[in-house]
Each structure stands twice: as structure tokens, then as C-alpha cells.
């Protein structure tokens, strides 16, 4: 959102400031490839910011949803893969639902998240990235995902453990876990599917062995 009485910035030509970016020619290629894979209508965007206003977690993102679309148009892959945006996105689909141009913003962000997993760019939200990987690992183990095992294996990841000890989240989760156990909300012995091979093959193929 922006007031029409916008702030005036001083301008010094010739000097390229730290923030001034050059628009090169790679935008078109990146845009077309993402658009081709997602069918997300990215080029139709007119930057109305309805997605950013709809998004419940805009404030936790360093690149807002409408800017994600712009960055894709400009071909700024690296910035996007490094962003917090692709990790804090909740996949709540508010952006996509309210887009007047039928831009599938959520799918675009998800696609970037897929790309991030396959790239060497370190995720800006490590724990969230590990969570998704752990979930799929668990899925590959039993075919179903058991909450007790999921949390256990997530928290035994060294990066996650470090982070959660630091923030105190681990302690909280342990107490909560005990509470849940008492209430009978945790199933301790998981079910194992009869078609594990097929499931593992799918996961292996689609994640290209990244996890």
C-alpha cells in the first residue's frame, strides 16, 4: 500500500548506487521457463498488490508476493531462491484466490521452493526446509507420516536441534509432547504400507535424490 503523496528521493545520475539494479536480458527466459512449468500466468500481473495484502505472512517475507512476480519477470532467480518468502509461505492460496489476473502466485512461490531444494542456494529458513525434507523422508519410511516419529526425526537433525535449543523451542515442544502423550494424541507405532517400493521410487525420482 502506498499513499499518493510519495516520498521524494534525491537522484544522482551516473553513480550507480548500491541499490540500483541493472535490468538485463535474462528476465524473458526465466519468466517463460517458470511460466511454462507452472502455467501460472505470471506475465499478466499488473502489480495491484492484492496478493501482498491478502497474504497473512507478508510481514515475515523479505520479498512480498507481488514483488516475487516482478522478480520472476526480471529473471532474479538467485534473490528469489535466497528469500525467506519461499519458506514462510503457508500455501494458504490467498494470493492465488484473490488475483484479478489469474496469476497463480502460490504455485509460483511453490515452484521456486521446488527449485530451491534442487539448487545449491542455502535456504533462508533452515528449519522449515529441513521440516519439509524430514516429512518426505518419513513418508518414504512408512508410507504414512507418524507425528511422533516426524517430530523426533526433525528435532534430531543437528541444525534444527541447535536452532531449537537456542530459541528455547525444544523445551516447549518437549512439554507439549508430554501433554499430548498424556492425552493419548500420539500414536507410537507407525503403520507401514505394502507398496513402499513404489512410493520410494516416486520420491526418489521427483526429488532427484536431493534428500
- The half-sphere exposure of 147 on its side-chain side, counting CA atoms within 13 A, is 9
Positions in 43-82 near other proteins (CB under 8 A): 43-60, 64, 66-67, 70-71, 73-74
Query: How far is it, in rounded angstroms, from Cα 124 to Cα 89?
Result: 12
Ramachandran region of residue 93, left (φ > 0), alpha (ψ -120 to 50) or beta? left
Binder of other proteins out of 119, 148, 177, 200 (CB under 8 A): 148
Positions in 82-111 near other proteins (CB under 8 A): 87-88, 90-94, 96-102, 104, 106-107, 110-111
Binder of other proteins out of 119, 121, 200, 203 (CB under 8 A): 203
Q: Is 154 in the site for other proteins (CB under 8 A)?
A: yes
Q: Is 153 in the site for other proteins (CB under 8 A)?
A: no
Q: How far is the CB of 196 from other proteins (least distance, A)?
A: 9
Positions in 1-30 near other proteins (CB under 8 A): 1-4, 6-9, 11, 13-14, 16-17, 19-23, 25, 27-28
Q: How far is the CB of 85 from other proteins (least distance, A)?
A: 12
Positions in 107-136 near other proteins (CB under 8 A): 107, 110-111, 113-114, 117, 125, 127-128, 130-133, 135-136
Query: How far is it, in rounded angstroms, from Cα 206 to Cα 201?
Result: 8
Binder of other proteins out of 108, 171, 174, 176 (CB under 8 A): 176
| Dihedral sign, Cα of residue 125, residue 127, residue 133, residue 136 | negative
Query: How far is it, in rounded angstroms, from Cα 132 to Cα 140?
Result: 12
In DSSP terms, 192 is beta-bridged to 143
Query: How far is it, in rounded angstroms, from Cα 175 to Cα 182?
Result: 11
CA angle 3, 8, 11 (to 5 degrees): 145
Contact 104, 79 (CB under 8 A): no
DSSP assigned state of 191: P
Q: How far is the CB of 161 from other proteins (least distance, A)?
A: 13
Residues in contact with other proteins, counted by CB under 8 A, come to a total of 114
Q: Is 31 in the site for other proteins (CB under 8 A)?
A: yes
In the structure grid, which three cell numbers stand for residue 177, read together? 509432547
Q: How far is the CB of 38 from other proteins (least distance, A)?
A: 8
Amino acid at each position: 500500500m502506498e499513499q499518493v503523496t510519495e516520498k521524494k528521493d534525491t537522484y544522482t545520475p551516473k553513480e550507480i548506487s548500491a541499490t540500483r539494479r541493472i535490468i538485463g536480458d535474462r528476465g524473458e527466459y526465466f519468466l517463460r521457463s517458470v511460466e511454462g512449468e507452472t502455467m501460472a500466468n505470471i506475465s499478466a500481473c499488473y502489480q495491484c498488490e492484492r496478493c501482498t495484502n491478502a497474504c497473512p505472512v507478508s510481514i515475515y517475507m523479505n520479498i512480498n508476493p507481488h514483488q516475487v512476480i516482478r522478480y520472476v519477470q526480471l529473471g532474479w532467480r538467485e534473490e528469489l531462491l535466497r528469500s525467506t518468502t519461499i519458506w514462510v509461505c503457508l500455501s494458504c492460496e490467498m494470493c492465488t484466490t484473490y488475483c484479478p489476473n489469474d496469476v497463480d502466485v502460490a504455485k509460483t512461490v511453490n515452484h521456486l521452493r521446488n527449485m530451491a531444494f534442487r539448487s545449491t542456494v542455502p535456504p533462508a529458513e533452515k528449519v522449515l526446509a529441513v521440516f519439509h525434507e524430514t516429512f518426505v523422508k518419513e513418508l518414504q519410511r512408512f508410507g504414512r507420516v507418524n507425528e511422533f516419529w516426524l517430530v523426533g526425526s526433525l528435532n534430531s537433525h543437528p541444525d534444527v536441534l541447535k536452532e531449537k535449543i537456542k530459541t528455547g523451542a525444544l523445551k516447549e515442544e518437549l512439554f507439549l509432547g508430554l501433554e499430548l502423550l498424556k492425552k493419548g494424541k500420539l500414536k507410537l507405532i507407525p503403520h507401514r504400507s505394502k507398496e513402499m517400493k513404489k512410493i520410494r521410487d516416486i520420491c526418489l525420482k521427483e526429488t532427484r535424490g536431493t534428500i
